[in-house]
Amino acid sequence: MKAIPSIAALLAVSASFASPAEEREPARFVTTGQVAQVCGGSPLRFHLLNQYLPGRYSFGAHSFWLDADSPMPKSGDIVQLRGVVEKPRGSILDEFPSSSAFVVKELSVVGRGDFPDCDVVGAGDVNGGRCHERFVRISGVVSSVVRDEMNALWNWFVLRTRDGNVYVAAPDVERPFDELLSLTDAEVEVFGLVIMQTRWRRFAGHYLLPIGEKGVVATRPPPAEARVLGRNVFNTDSFALLASRGELLHRAKMDGVLIAAGSRFCFMQSDAEIVKLVMMPRTPLPECGARVSASGFVSLDFSGLMMSDVVITSHGERGDLPAAVAPTDIQRLFMEAKNPGIYKPAELRRIVTVDGVVANTPENIRSSRRMRVERGGYAADIDVSGIPGDELAHVRLGATVRVTGVCNAEFETDPSIATFPRFTGFSVVPASSRNIEVIQEPPWWTTGRLVAVIISLLGALAVISALCVALKVLSDRRGRQLFDERVSHVRTKAKVDERTRLAAELHDAVSQSLTGIALQVDSAGRANKGANPAVDRFLTSARQMLASCRRELQDCLWDLRSRTFEEKDMNEAVSRTIAPHVESAEVNVRFNVPRDRLSESATHNILCIVRELVANAIRHGGATHIWIAGECHEGRVTFSVRDDGRGFDAATAPGPGQGHFGLQGIRERVNCFGGSLKVSGASPRGAKVTVTMFEDR
């Protein structure tokens, strides 16, 4: 492996392998140098002096990434490195496809040494990038000590110099937060490496990394007393002159009345103008209206004088809070803030009174600590972070309020174009809830209520539509039912009329003919007078057959004229059917079969069978008590007729040959429905006939 002792040579090798268009074997290197700063991270990142030779240094440094199990180096160690030029795994360089770096595979510590002397520079050299990744020395006053917003293991402080401020970052393990905080307002000398802030952080400028034990050295303790500022400091030209002389590097002191307060800053009315105060962390704040002395670091922002890292001392006295002034149009405030060259800073930061309609809910005000008021198409934020939430319970959405407070215009500068301020908005900071007056309660008819009413109406419309659909379905169903009932009624009436017509024709034709035939048979019998016994037998048989036919015809005529088959209850239908044949016998009917489960044909045949059995029991068996029962089970109808008459034997009972067609007719009806007929009981215990048939046949 070839040794490459110079970082400049390494940079040349790295550049030749940076292009992703052609894949090559990674370049290897061996070099020796002094560790300038261990930055931490995973993989571990540290800075190495460009070149180390005994008794001679070349200033500058470059980053290395440790991808080995070697012990972590310390600042000041002289190390020998072996590695390759490639992209380290898991580093921030993953965002840049063509980037490569020096990845250390082997590291060995060969000694320690002091850091070289370096040039003394100013804030302009650091911030302007003229000493990028070089060791420098710079002197100034410490102010604004804070923890890193993304990495709590690092601390930051501002070094105030005559030609500007320099940001300094240091790991907490080397320089704890409380130690740096104790150096506030002290003059220090910082020795370290200038680094460029990465682009994914909000601050994108250069800052300083202190190196070694002498990285931050106090050269003068904080002054015993802060300098009292006079009225001339509010003049822009005078302020610039004092700043150039270094007379405003240390804390300054100013008296006044605290007139407004928020969670991040407050405002004090001095003898000359309103001063914005940014408090030190964990500093208690007196109530608005108290006379105080504010001690802090003075600077100018785009709208006036500002003091940062302020410590406030109360005098125990109270002053006057600002009174309401003539309401200012919100649109005019925007014009003033967007044109700082036209309006003087004192005109931007002043006591204002604005009227507007509250545009956010009380819940949103309590959570965001901001109240938004609108008027004329413009909106202003009211900073209520310094007011307890329960004191704003009377402010509701849509109310018209009048707010008196300090107008605070907010600006932001782009580091690349620091000369031009960018207006981001403004807020009005009131002193207390008494400075927020409700001049008109919100109208009852608000947007929220209108939306609620519209939603309610839409819900009611949906319910009504659903009801209409349901009613339409019910009406259609009921209409079909009524239509079916009407059709059924018409069919029933047509059947009754047809049966009546048939009954009349049968009575007028067949019945009269049978009656005439019966008279002729009787006449033939009287004429024979026993002369021929065979003729008498034939005539007797014919007389019996005619009598049976006449009874059958009478039953048919009764059925045709009766409406028994239209009964909805089978018990009633059976009772009405057998009524003409019961005479003096006692009949008990228990026919538990739903009428709607039987077709008209099945109902007609069941009633005819029951009538025939009852008539036979009374006519031939001499029964005085008859029991009729029926039931329906699994699609079959079973019914029986039992009597207390003389009984009969089905095998020997007279049939059609003897002029008796009843039992034969019953069997034929039962066979039509795939059923069965069972006769039990014999003389003199009465008889029981059981019939089983299918209801859907």
**Residue-by-residue DSSP string for 341-362:** TTS-HHHHSSEEEEEEEE-S-H
Reported confidence tier of residue 26, pLDDT bands at 50, 70, 90 = confident
- Greater model confidence, 530 or 571: 571
d(CA 285, CA 334): 30
- How many Cβ atoms are within 10 Å of 81's Cβ, its own excluded? 22
**Alpha carbon of 20 to those of 87, 97, 254: distances in Å?**
11, 7, 61
Q: How far is CA 2 from CA 23, 27, 51, 82, 83, in A?
A: 21, 10, 17, 10, 11
Nearest to 116 by CA among 187, 161, 58: 58
- Higher-confidence residue of 494 and 427: namely 427
Per the structure block, which two tokens stand in for 582? 């019961």
- What beta strand segments (E) does 87-134 contain? 101-112
pLDDT, tens digit (0-9, with 9 covering 90-100), for 394-406: 888 889 999 999 9
Burial of residue 475 (number of CB atoms within 10 Å: 0-12, 13-18, 19+) = exposed
Torsion, CA 263, CA 268, CA 273, CA 274, rounded to 10: 10
Q: How far is CA 236 from the centre of its chain?
A: 55
Task: Tell me what pLDDT residue 426 has.
Answer: 77
The predicted pLDDT at position 507 comes to: 58
Residue 133, H or E segment: none
pLDDT (mean) for 486-494: 77
* CA–CA distance, 527 with 46 (Å, rounded to integer): 152
- pLDDT at position 47: 75
419-440: average pLDDT: 82
- pLDDT-derived band at 521, boundaries 50, 70, 90: confident
Identify the CA nearest to 39 among candidates 180, 192, 177, 165.
Answer: 192
| Confidence tier at 472 by pLDDT (50, 70, 90) | very high
Residue 520 C-alpha from the chain's centroid:
101
State residue 160's pLDDT score.
Answer: 92
User: At residue 17, does pLDDT exceed 50?
Assistant: no
Q: 586-634, pLDDT tens digit by residue?
A: 889 898 888 878 877 788 888 888 888 888 888 888 888 999 999 988 8
pLDDT tens for residues 633-661?
888 899 999 888 887 766 666 655 555 55
Residue range 113-167, pLDDT digits in tens: 887 778 899 998 998 888 887 888 999 999 888 888 777 778 899 999 988 899 9
In tens, the pLDDT along 202-256 reads 566 788 988 877 889 999 999 888 888 877 677 767 777 777 777 888 888 889 9
Least confident of 445-449, 554-558, 607-611: 554-558
Q: Is the pLDDT of residue 561 over 60?
A: no
Kindly indicate the confidence band of residue 564, based on its pLDDT and cuts at 50, 70 and 90: low
Q: How far is the C-alpha of 553 from the C-alpha of 555, rounded, in Å? A: 5
Compute the average pLDDT of residues 191-212.
76
Given a contact cutoff of 8 angstroms between Cβ atoms, the answer to whether 115 and 212 are in contact is yes
Number of C-beta neighbours around residue 530 at 10 A: 8
Average pLDDT, the chain: 79
Q: What is the DSSP string of 421-464?
A: EEEEEEEEE-SSGGGEEEEEPPPSS-HHHHHHHHHHHHHHHHHH
Q: Which residues make Cβ contacts (< 8 Å) with residue 250, sequence separation at least 6?
A: 141, 185, 222, 223, 226, 227, 297
Q: 464 pLDDT exceeds 90?
A: yes
CA distance linking residue 159 with residue 194, whole number of Å: 14
Q: Does the pLDDT of residue 548 top 80, yes or no? A: no
Query: Which residues contact residue 13 at a Cβ distance below 8 angstroms, ignoring those fewer than 6 apart?
Result: 4, 27, 29, 85
- pLDDT (0 to 100) of residue 349: 82
Q: Nearest-CA neighbor of 627 among 601, 590, 597? A: 590
Longest Cα–Cα distance of the chain, Å, equals 177
The confidence score (pLDDT) of residue 658 equals 54
Mean pLDDT of 501-508: 64
Summarised one tens digit per residue, pLDDT across range 243-296 is: 777 788 888 888 999 999 887 789 999 887 889 998 887 777 888 889 999 999
Which pLDDT score is estimated for 23? 53
Question: At residue 663, does pLDDT exceed 90?
Answer: no
Percent of the chain's residues with pLDDT above 70: 79
Q: Of the candidates 190, 247, 178, 198, which has an alpha carbon nearest to the alpha carbon of residue 215? A: 190
Rounded distance between C-alpha atoms, residue 292 and residue 143, angstroms: 21
pLDDT at 380: 86
Q: Is the pLDDT of residue 51 over 60?
A: no
For residues 530-556, average pLDDT: 74
Give this prediction's pTM.
0.56
Residue 55 has pLDDT above 60, yes or no: no
- Nearest partner of 268 among 225, 229, 239, 242, judged by Cα: 229
Q: What is the C-alpha to C-alpha distance for residues 490 and 485, in angstroms, rounded to an integer?
A: 8
pLDDT at 361 over 70: yes
Task: State the Cα–Cα distance between residues 319 and 379, nearest whole angstrom.
Answer: 31
What's the pLDDT score for residue 585?
83
pLDDT at residue 375 above 80?
A: yes
Q: Give Cα 541 distance to the centre of its chain.
A: 97
- The predicted structure's pLDDT at residue 504: 65
- Predicted confidence at residue 506, as pLDDT, reads 64
User: Which tops the pLDDT comparison, 496 or 467?
Assistant: 467
Percent of the chain with pLDDT over 90: 16
- For the cut 90, the answer to whether the pLDDT of residue 186 exceeds it is yes
Pairwise pLDDT comparison (87 vs 34), residue with the higher score: 34
State the distance between the two ends of the chain, measured CA to CA, in whole angstroms.
106
Residue type, 612: E
For residue 495, which amino acid is it? Answer: K
Instruction: Please say if the pLDDT value at position 5 is more than 70.
Output: no
SS3 content of the chain, % helix, strand, coil (to 5): 35, 35, 30
Range with the lowest mean pLDDT among 42-51, 505-514, 527-536? 505-514
Instruction: Give the integer Cα–Cα distance in Å for 481 and 501.
Output: 30
List domains and CATH numbers for the chain.
7-112 (2.40.50.140), 123-220 (2.40.50.140), 227-318 (2.40.50.140), 330-443 (2.40.50.140), 448-561 (no CATH), 565-694 (3.30.565.10)
Evaluate if residue 442 carries a pLDDT over 70.
yes
